[in-house]
Structure 1
Amino acid sequence: MTMALLEVQDLQAGYGASRVLHGVDLTVGDGRIVTLLGKNGMGKTTTLKSVMGLLPKQAGSVRFGGREVTRLAAFEVARLGLGWVPEGRQVFPTLTVAENLVATAANRHGAAQPFTLQRVYDFFPRLAERAGNLGNQLSGGEQQMLAIGRALMTNPRLLILDEATEGLAPLVRAEIWRVLGALRATGMAMLIVDKNLGPLLELADHHVVLEKGRVVWQGDGPALQADQATVQRHLGL
């Protein structure tokens, strides 16, 4: 049985007096890939930010690796092994590609095969070609590769991606999905938000659908494909 790496129970969070999440439950097993699905404004990014400690929880519990992390600051959560790839990339604009990658590099958990500059370049050859370019000189697709590479350089136990391929050209999206598939083969656990259902169905083990801050459906890929009513109503596809 797969050990629960991330456990979220009755998560409630929001912004100021406005509550966005109303009791979200989800689990990511060690080495497993889980998606958060739903239309815009349903609470997906809020869930990820709450898990990462970037947004205070109003109620509920978040456990990572068996440890309660509900009240920890974002940097403390990251040090436990959560790698964050934010929506909008947020690379350091005045650092080179290589500097972006080494800025947060660490191997706090003693990975036997840690991510190094060369290993990230092996996954993303384009970053090797652009190693000396500043972050603000990269295309959107290159910045997304860099954001993923930067998270990998922390050698996370769980990689969290918010809008993994949003706004990217088809060839770049295909490259991102290729890399995520290769990371899956290494045993990397992931929690992914993205609107491209087709690749997610091939990649992920489990899907969680949100509507207005609540889990309205969850299951595996074949079950989601078979439930066209859920796809049409909650995903708008």
Structure 2
Amino acid sequence: MLTVDALESAYGDSRILFGIDITVRAGEVVTLLGRNGMGKTTTVKSIFGLLKPRAGRVAVDGEDVTGKPPHVIAKRGLGLVPEGRHIFPTLSVEENLLATHRSDRGGPAKWTLQSVYGLFPRLRERRRNMGNQLSGGEQQMLAIGRALMTNPRLVVLDEATEGLAPLIREEIWACLAAIKDAGEAILVIDKNVDALARFADRHVVIEKGRVAWTGTTAELRATPDIKDRFLHV
């Protein structure tokens, strides 16, 4: 459903992406891996129109959305969980979720307040708390829930568990696996390769703004030097 072809992007005169290719099929989990500063977040910004690409193409279900405004791209069925979460600090948990609710894709909405609370029981417990009263893990749960409330067909997570305690990370991984089981496609950035490999289908490794390697989880496990060459500091 998502196709990124030969994507090139830059900040001013500084080129960051040099021909990135990514595909995500319906119901598939694809990871975007690489060391810090290799272009992962720039790729996400370019997909969502937050940064206009210099060249290449972004398509959703074959429709070219390259460089279109973020709200137009979101309406095509893409939901973003940004790096840093960016929840609304002075709105309650429930207000954060309701602010992005969208259910006009035909048929009953899959993701509602009740289904998000079922996925994240802690959010139900904290539903009247303000966003700035939540822990980092709770804020990440809220950011994921907020993206799901748009009822997307593809969820994109930038640094899914960055800065979270190990137990919270495991909870986030379990929720992402449940989201996959619910039929959603996922594009996820994170550094915890072994955890990602438990439920991801394919992996794309970026090195200095270029795709250095791509393959299935089985191929990644059969090629252990990939982590040493491209992922370890």
The answer, yes or no, to whether TM exceeds 0.5 is: yes
Following superposition, the deviation at residue 171 of structure 1 comes to: 1.2
Aligned residue in 2 for 1:139: 135
Aligned residue in 1 for 2:35: 39
Runs of 4+ in structure 1 deviating by more than 3 angstroms, as ranges, are: none
TM-score normalised per structure 2? 0.98
Does 2:153 match 1:157?
Answer: yes
Identity over aligned pairs, percent: 57
Following superposition, the deviation at residue 113 of structure 1 comes to: 4.5
Cα shift readout 1:180-230 (whole Å, capped 9, x = no counterpart) = 111111110000000001111111100000000000100011211121222
CA distance in 1: counterparts of 2:165 and 2:91, whole angstroms: 24
Aligned residue in 2 for 1:91: 87
Does 2:142 match 1:171?
Answer: no
CA distance in 1: counterparts of 2:192 and 2:37, whole angstroms: 17
The amino acid of 1:141's aligned partner reads: G
The amino acid of 1:205's aligned partner reads: D
The amino acid of 1:144's aligned partner reads: Q
Q: Tell me, which stretches of 5 or more residues in structure 2 are unaligned?
A: none
CA distance in 2: counterparts of 1:204 and 1:19, whole angstroms: 30
Cα shift readout 1:31-86 (whole Å, capped 9, x = no counterpart) = 10100001000001100110011111000000001211003101110111100000
CA distance in 2: counterparts of 1:78 and 1:108, whole angstroms: 13
CA distance in 2: counterparts of 1:89 and 1:230, whole angstroms: 29
Supply the RMSD in Å over aligned alpha carbons.
1.0
The amino acid of 2:187's aligned partner reads: L
Match for residue 219 of structure 2 among 223, 227, 233: 223
CA distance in 1: counterparts of 2:135 and 2:229, whole angstroms: 34
**What SS does the aligned partner of 1:128 have?**
helix
Which residues in structure 2 correspond to 1:103-114 (within 5 Å)?
103-114=99-110
Q: Tell me, which stretches of 5 or more residues in structure 1 are unaligned?
A: none
Q: Is contact 2:80-2:147 (8 Å) kept?
A: yes
CA distance in 1: counterparts of 2:109 and 2:211, whole angstroms: 36
**Aligned pairs, how many?**
233
Following superposition, the deviation at residue 111 of structure 1 comes to: 5.0
Cα shift readout 1:121-161 (whole Å, capped 9, x = no counterpart) = 00000000000000000000000000000000000010000
